[in-house]
Amino acid sequence: MSGRELKDLLYEQVARIARAAASPKRLELIEVLVQGEKSVEQLAADAEISVKLASAHLKELRQARLVEARREGRRMFYRLVDRHVADFWVMLRSLAEERLLELQAATREMAEGPGELAPMAGPELLEQARRGDLIVLDVRPGMEYANAHLPYARSIPINELRNRLGELPTDRPVVAYCRGPYCLMASEAVEILGTHGIRASRLEDGVAEWRYQGLPITQDSESR
């Protein structure tokens, strides 16, 4: 093999990752899989696409070695091959937000939605949560919380929040988070909390962003 042929082969192999990521729905599936292993049916519901289409997208991601699968009876379950794929998603999204004016406009519009952003992040938020000065609320599905969550976070899935408001103290602010900057569950939670007199804001970061910054993650199902 000549030097030129070898270089072409190297770039072609790297391009496999780019081709696999060159789909909005496949990127969304990666973001959902950051939260933990899920069945094809669950992934299809989260991405609001058919099971057939979800399977086709997952096949592409699997061929690029970004996800792996296991069978349980008749059902297929998928997960990311490792945390580097989650880091890839965070880096790709961050680069796009830096470079693309259209994306910047869309993210500004999202930021203007229900609920102000949390006034602090990272270590400061963690310290205030540890002291009990505020409540960190994870509003993702319970299985996602069990897989990995922010330290000191309490789990109340968004579809249970209205019925479980009594579990939250009213004398401390609540910071809600979900799957990351493009997830709408935290905004919905802030809106619900606000209508019931609970001071609330939302954290843009999810587990992937938090871990990418080198901040600690808890991996158990015990509510804080």
Residues 6+ apart with CB under 8 A from 60: 19, 20, 23, 26
Active-site hit among 175, 178, 183, 186? 178
Task: Single out the residue of 153, 137, 132, 150 nearest to residue 217, CA to CA.
Answer: 150
Task: Give the E-state strand segments of 81-216 in sequence order.
Answer: 135-138, 154-155, 174-177, 200-202
DSSP output for 202-220: E-S--HHHHHHTT---B-S
Reply yes or no on whether 178 is catalytic: yes
Dist CA 204 CA 118 (whole Å):
8
Residues classed as catalytic: 178
